[in-house]
């Protein structure tokens, strides 16, 4: 072969190689500047893209602000720092330990070959009790979703006191609103998606938001927030939903979100604990000082706030009157959610005392619906009451109300994959590895040795989620038929090994008892408000 032919062949190879590289979206000009991603396995990932200014110094406890543009091309190959939280959450989730207040970054995984493909988009919002969580959890890697034809985005948001501190001074700054900075971060992330996702081959008109636990609660809150209107076309909530009335006292069972006035009192007490005379002094404190004052783990001092600006104060009435962001929804819970939170034996008398102390005049009815004559029954019922109040009742209520008042279709599931670690049912968060098809990740969301059956149902669940994002309906060729939840048909999809099929709501007796309790709580609040 002559040198001329060798040079020609080499040049042709270069052209082919460069053509292959150009056949993927590897760079994008977004709000702020140019970003460059990393191509692997047919997907390009962009990590650590800023979507708002760092909420530090005077921007602490303010709504997210526009970011400062950068020059040149930003290499988007590393996750941004996690938002401030107990460092043990990183260990729990198997994520990097880097954290700080400068944390408002998002990530994109895209399979697009060009910017004009208009692929469906899925935006993931992590859980962690609104005090922990991060986008860098290995289980949340978006590659498998992207390989099935969607653009996957994950968005960070502020946590704990940094994300949910309310205070009278902050409410004056925020035009009668404070305490929902973490939710505002999510809304800012969705606005970024709307403005920029087409650059990655995504369709801004086909955005599905999805999340688990606090993330599932958050997407439910976004479905209720007037500030999120028009930012998404579908909702998937895993173990979420938000329909309880405001939490006014610590003795009320089954409620979490406070009204603004109560949240402001909590905020004033927290500033006193910090030794700060006002918000200006508190903004001058080091972030580590504030985090230390919060304490470890799942402390529940700070939660999204019913402020009637970001979050309407009566979500139940909102849905009854049809005043919400009406889209198709796919929502559900796990069969034994409470097992993660109730880990020791609960004696029969303990369970009864817990119910009587938190559920007032409806305690007898709730006790009758939850067997507790033995310690074994009481322990399982303690798990079940946690599951039902935190996740199952809000999910069932959401499905029921939207099927009555909305236009968007409703699909409901119960995830019930059992194994040696969860013999009585699927624990809280157990579905995440199946949804993302990522089993090898460390931490509580990972599964060390998935079986062929695990892999098969994971593919099934992932296909349901992807179909929903693509078509607003989980059904598709080769999948077990998933009926919609309607005013007259209350079937849910039972996701289990060896088979998945529709069934009646499994815990209806407990849910109906809680429905009476929550109705009484709403009426009690109305009477107090009237007086």
Helical segments of 41-134, H only: 88-93
Task: From the candidates 428, 431, 437, 494, give the one annotated as an active-site residue.
Answer: 428
DSSP E strands, 19-118 = 27-30, 33-36, 38-40, 43-50, 73-75, 105-110
Q: How many CA atoms lie within 13 A of 295 on its CB side?
A: 7
Q: Looking at 177, 213, 225, 237, which residue is catalytic?
A: 213
> Distance between CA atoms of 500 and 512, rounded to whole angstroms?
25
Contact predicate 384/338, CB 8 Å: yes
Q: Are 170 and 301 in contact (CB under 8 A)?
A: no
SS3 235: strand
Q: Are strands 501-504 and 491-495 parallel, antiparallel or unpaired?
A: antiparallel
337 is catalytic: yes
524 is catalytic: no
Query: What pairing do the DSSP bridges indicate for beta strands 410-415 and 491-495?
Result: parallel
State the Cα–Cα distance between residues 119 and 122, nearest whole angstrom. 10
Q: Which of 101, 238, 264, 337 is catalytic?
A: 337
Element (H, E) at 399: helix 393-405
List phi, psi (to 5°) of 233: -115, -5
Active-site annotation holds for 372 = no
How far does Cα 343 stand from its chain's mean position?
A: 24
How many residues in total does the chain contain? 531
Hey, which residues are catalytic here? 213, 337, 428
């Amino acid at each position: 072969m002559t040198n001329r032919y060798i040079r020609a062949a080499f040049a042709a190879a270069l052209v082919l190689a460069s053509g292959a590289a150009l056949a993927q979206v590897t760079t994008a000009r977004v709000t702020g500047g140019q970003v460059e991603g990393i191509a692997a396995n047919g997907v390009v990932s962009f990590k650590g893209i800023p979507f708002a200014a760092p909420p530090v110094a005077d921007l602490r406890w303010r709504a997210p602000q526009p970011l400062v543009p950068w020059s040149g091309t930003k290499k988007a190959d590393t996750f941004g720092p996690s938002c401030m939280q107990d460092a043990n959450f990183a260990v729990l989730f198997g994520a990097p330990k880097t954290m700080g207040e400068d944390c408002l970054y998002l990530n994109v995984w895209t399979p697009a070959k060009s910017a004009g493909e208009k692929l469906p988009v899925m935006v993931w919002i992590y859980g962690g009790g609104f005090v922990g969580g991060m986008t860098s959890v290995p289980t949340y890697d978006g590659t498998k979703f992207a390989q099935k034809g969607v653009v996957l985005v994950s968005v960070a948001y502020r946590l704990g006191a940094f994300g949910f501190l309310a205070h009278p001074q902050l409410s004056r700054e925020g035009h009668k609103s404070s305490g929902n900075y973490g939710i505002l971060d999510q809304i800012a992330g969705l606005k970024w998606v709307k403005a920029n996702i087409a650059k990655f081959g995504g369709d801004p008109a086909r955005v599905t938001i999805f999340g688990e636990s606090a993330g599932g609660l958050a997407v439910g809150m976004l479905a209720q927030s007037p500030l999120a209107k028009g930012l998404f076309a579908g909702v998937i909530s895993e173990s979420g939903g938000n329909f309880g009335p405001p939490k006014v006292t610590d003795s009320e069972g089954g409620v979490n979100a406070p009204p603004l006035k109560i949240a402001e009192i909590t905020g004033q007490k927290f500033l006193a604990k910090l030794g700060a005379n006002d918000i200006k002094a508190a903004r001058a404190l080091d972030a580590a000082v504030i985090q230390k004052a919060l304490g470890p783990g799942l402390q529940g001092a700070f939660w999204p706030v019913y402020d009637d600006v970001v979050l309407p104060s009566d979500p139940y009435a909102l849905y009854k009157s049809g005043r919400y962001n009406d889209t198709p929804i796919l929502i559900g819970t796990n069969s034994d959610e409470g097992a993660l939170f109730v880990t020791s034996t609960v004696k029969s008398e303990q369970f009864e005392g817990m119910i009587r102390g938190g559920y007032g005049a409806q305690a007898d009815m709730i006790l009758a619906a939850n067997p507790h004559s033995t310690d074994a029954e009481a322990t399982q019922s303690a798990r079940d009451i946690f599951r039902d109040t935190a996740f199952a009742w809000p999910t069932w209520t959401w499905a029921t109300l939207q099927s009555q008042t909305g236009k968007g279709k409703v699909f409901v599931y119960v995830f019930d994959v059992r194994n040696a670690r969860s013999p009585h049912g699927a624990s809280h968060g157990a579905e995440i590895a199946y949804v993302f098809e990522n089993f090898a990740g460390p931490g509580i969301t990972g599964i060390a040795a998935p079986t062929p059956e695990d892999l098969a149902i994971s593919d099934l669940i992932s296909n349901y989620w992807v179909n929903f994002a693509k078509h607003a309906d989980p059904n598709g060729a080769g999948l077990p038929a998933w009926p919609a939840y309607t005013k007259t048909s209350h079937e849910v999809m039972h996701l289990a090994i060896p088979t998945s099929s529709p069934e009646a709501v499994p815990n209806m007796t407990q849910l109906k008892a809680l429905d009476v309790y929550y109705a009484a709580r709403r009426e009690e609040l109305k009477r107090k408000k009237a007086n």
